[in-house]
Every structure is written in structure tokens, then in C-alpha cells.
Amino acid sequence: MIRMNKRVAYKASILLLGSLMMPQVLWAGEFVTFIEDFNRIINEVGATIDQGTVSLSTPARAIASLGAVFYIGFRVWRHIANAEAVDFYPLFRPFVLAILIANFNWVTGLIAGLCNPVVAATDHLRVQSQHSIDLLIEAKKKAMKEGKFWNMYVGDSGSGDRDLWYAYANPGAGEEGWMESMGNGIQFAMEKASFQLQLNIKTWLSEVLQVLYQAAGLAINVIRMFYLVVLGILGPISFGLAVFDGFQHTLVQWIARYINVYFWLPVANVFGYIINVIQDKMLQLDLSQIESEGRTFFSSTDTAFLIFLVIAIIGYTTVPSVANYIIAVGGKDSLLHKTSNILTQYPNQFQKMLR
């Protein structure tokens, strides 16, 4: 009797855990769709800013005009004092900067035109790899539904097929008696709950990691667009200050910083492509398990893949550092540094909990 109560309690706990996981899986799919829509909104906001709807060109022109007076006056006075011919070529610099300040969307448009082919190429890689994953997921679902374990424990009705299970578990057996029917019913319920729990755990882990993966990509895109908007709005001020002697470096620094931040998205796309390739290999292994065994199960490869996904999610915060390999910009990114510290604290806390 005590053993029977333990089995019933175990069965109840399994069913409760499985029922709690299912809403999370549904919520995860909705969250991924929300993130994709939010990314489109962010890109639309960035495109609106690039069109010059918000600009500080007026105060920037005032700063540049004052700088041009000192810049031209100092050089002309020096040539006159030295009784030299005035060299007009360096004097064109303030006028060129003034034209760029007045039409600053030309600057951002030129940079976007040069960088967009890289963004499009890397995004094509990511989309291609994602399409391959979608095909494997559909093949996996089809293989699962065609397997004997799915028909026994889930089926079209969701409650399984007890007669099919009995024929598989007891080949050649005759009709079951009353006592055998009770025992087999409990055994069938336990095995069905175990199968559904194992299936739900893998689905739940996959959905949760997918949500975290999408959230990490969203965070990078939001911070990137925030920086691009700030650089685009305050860029004319940097160009205006660049007219003054001693501040010429602000022009090069602004251009380098803008290109560096713009390349965050291609780097993130390449990062996502690498993760998708690993996930593709994992799904192929999972599909081969289903085709050979009729069901999916945990293995050391699954564990290694989940660990790799966690590392990859944390690794998204290193995207700005990788972008520095393309075009180096000095200075420390405080916002991303704090974000990285927060993310790297969770594995350490989890390890302490395990101890």
C-alpha cells in the first residue's frame, strides 16, 4: 500500500510539472514573435532618425562658423605676418565641414550605404541557417508522430493508446485480468507521464533558450540603435567642434565610432549563424534518434549543446569587442560592461546553489 501511494505521488508530481511547463512553452513562442516585431519597430525608428527628422545642425553651424573664423583668421594672419602667399587649400576644410553639417543625413547615408551590403550578406547567412533549422523541426515533428511511442503515449487525442501499449509491452499475451488491468493501467499512466515529461522538458528548455537567445539579440540591437541615434543627433556638434584647432580628432573618432557601432549587427548575425549551425547538427542527431528509437532522449551531446547555448547567449555581450577587431575605437563601453557583469554573475550563483 505504501509503495502504491509513492507511485501515485510520483505520478501526480510528474503530471503537475508537465502541466506547468506547457504554458511556458506557449508563452515562449509568443515572446519570440514579439521580439521579432519589436526589432522591426527599432529599425523603423532608426530609419526615421537617419532621414534627418531630428537634427542639431543649427547650433552646430554656429559652432562651426565661430571655429571657421578662428581657423581661417589664424592661418591667413600667419601667412601675412611671414610675407608668404596664402595657401587656400587648407582653408577649404571649414567650408566642407559646414556643408556636411547642413546636410548631415548625407554623412549617415553614405556610411549606411557602405555598411549595408555587409549587413545584408550576414543577415542572409543567418536567415538561410534558420530556414534549415525550421525544415529540420518540421521533419522532427513528422518523425515523432509516425513513431510507435508517440502513438502509444500521446496520439491524436493526446491521451495515448493503451491497447497499443499493452500489445507492445506484452507481446503474445492474452486478455488481462482484473488485477492485471489495474497494475497495467498504473504502469501505462506512469510511462505515459514519463514520456510526455521528457518530451516537454526538451521542448521547454529549447523554448526558454530560444527566448533568451532572442532577448540577447534584442538587447544588442536596442543598445546599437540607441548609440546610432545619439551619434546621429550629436554628430553635427562633433563636426562643428572639429573645425577648431586641437579638436580635429573628434571627426575621425565620430566616424570610427559610428562605423564600429554599425558593425555590431553584422557581428551579431555571424554569431547567430554559428549558433544556428550548431543547433542544426543537434537537430540532425535528435532526428536520427527518433528515426532509430522512435523517441528522443537526453544524452551527453544534448547536455553539451545546452551548455554551449548558455555560453553563446552570454557571449552576445562580447559583440562590441569583436566589432573592435574590424575597426578599433578607444574608450570603455560602460553600459555593455555592466550588462556583461550582470550576465556573468548568474553562472557563479548557480554553481554556488549546486554546492
pLDDT bracket for residue 263 (50, 70, 90): very high
**Residue 342 scores a pLDDT above 60:** no
Task: Identify which of 144-153, 285-294, 299-308, 346-355 has the greatest average pLDDT.
Answer: 285-294
Interval 56-71: pLDDT, tens: 777 777 877 777 777 7
pLDDT band with cut points at 50, 70 and 90 for residue 19: very low
Average model confidence (pLDDT) for the chain?
72
Helix, strand, coil fractions of the chain, as percent rounded to 5: 85, 0, 15
Q: What is the pLDDT of residues 224-252, one digit of tens each?
A: 888 888 888 888 888 888 888 888 888 88
* pLDDT attached to residue 212: 76
As a whole number, mean pLDDT of residues 162-186 equals 65
What is 254-288 written as a DSSP string?
Answer: HHHHHHHHHTHHHHHHHHHHHHHHHHHHHHHHHHH
Rounded to 5 degrees, what angle do the CA atoms 141, 38, 205 make?
35
| Domain spans of the chain, in order of start | 2-54+100-354
Decide if pLDDT at 1 tops 50: no
Produce one character per residue of 116-147: b if its CB has 16 or more CB atoms within 10 Å, e if not.
eebbeebbebbeebeebbeebeeebeebbeeb
CB atoms within 10 A of CB 347: 12
Higher pLDDT, 126 or 301: 126
Q: Give the residue, 2 or 307, on which the prediction is more confident.
A: 307
CB 347 within 8 A of CB 278: no
Kindly report which listed range (64-73, 148-157, 167-176, 271-280) carries the lowest average pLDDT score.
Answer: 167-176
8 Å CB contact between 242 and 97: yes
Query: What pLDDT score was predicted for residue 11?
Result: 41
Grid cell, residue 327, equals 575597426
**pLDDT at residue number 341:** 57
* The three grid cell numbers given for residue 48, joined into one nine-digit string: 526615421
